[in-house]
Amino acid sequence: MKLAFIGIGNVGFAIANNLQKKGHEIIVAHDDASSETVQNALHKNRNFTTHTLQKAVNLADVVFLATPFSANEEILKSLQFNGKTLVDCTNPVGKGLSHGLESEISGAEKIQEWSKDANVVKSYTIYGFENLMNASFPKYNVKPVMMIAGNDAESKKIVATLNADLGFETLDTGNLEQALHLEHFTLLWVKMVRRDGHHPNFTWAMLER
């Protein structure tokens, strides 16, 4: 598939780099091709191509949003998605590692408001970028789980396929309102690792009878 990335920092690059290795075509969407983040990504993986934001969206089968949450409204309101899948990899983090929208609504639901013609799926947010770089846990006979949420069943199937390429099992948690709880999973992980010093190389798994 052709995958466009709006935001290609630690999270965006980790996902894009591994998906490119799985045979997907990666388009780095930008408003400034000379930016340090874009140039760093192109230096680390020369198979990436670049296009301006709307052209990248137009060319892509799936669009990934991996920007700071505070930038999302301005970016998204200028774009047309025409029913494409938009994968929300962002988190609204507030002061003191609190939920940036005071847990009244998920960031993913706000992204759906700002991109009404996209099918938003929340994914890739419950861990830090370290586990998106490498999802392999060879000591265990289970894959790490990637929890997703979204309103469109077909878009969630697409994201589940990409999850599998990255080494994750998918757990569909339900409609997009469930993304609020996934964002709290993020805060749990971030507080453990970034604040309290737990090592980052751990994930959740799903065990079913």
Total of domains in the chain: 1
pLDDT band of residue 20 (cuts 50, 70, 90) is very high
Asked if the structure places residue 151 within a domain, the reply is yes
User: CATH number of the domain that 22 lies in?
Assistant: 3.40.50.720
pLDDT band of residue 10 (cuts 50, 70, 90) is very high
Q: Which of 65, 107, 108 is nearest to 89 (CA)?
A: 65
> What domain range includes position 71?
2-195
Task: Measure the N-to-C terminal CA separation of the chain; round to a whole number of Å.
Answer: 34
How high is the pLDDT of residue 33? 79
CB 2 within 8 A of CB 71: no
Asked if the structure places residue 89 within a domain, the reply is yes
For 24-61, write each residue's pLDDT tens digit: 999 999 988 789 999 999 999 999 999 999 999 999 99
Asked if the structure places residue 149 within a domain, the reply is yes
Q: What is the pTM of this model?
A: 0.96
SS3 of the chain = CEEEEECCCHHHHHHHHHHHHCCCEEEEEECCCCCHHHHHHHHHCCCCEEEEHHHHHHHCCEEEECCCHHHHHHHHCCCCCCCCEEEECCCCEECCCEECCCCCCCHHHHHHHHCCCCEEEECCCCCCCHHHHCCCCCCCCCCCEEEEEECCHHHHHHHHHHHHHHCCEEEECCCHHHHHHHHHHHHHHHHHHHHCCCCCCCCCCCCCC
Asked if the structure places residue 200 within a domain, the reply is no
Asked if the structure places residue 207 within a domain, the reply is no
Asked if the structure places residue 205 within a domain, the reply is no
For 124-151, write each residue's pLDDT tens digit: 999 999 999 999 999 999 999 999 999 9
Asked if the structure places residue 84 within a domain, the reply is yes
Mean pLDDT calculated for residue range 83-100: 96
Asked if the structure places residue 146 within a domain, the reply is yes
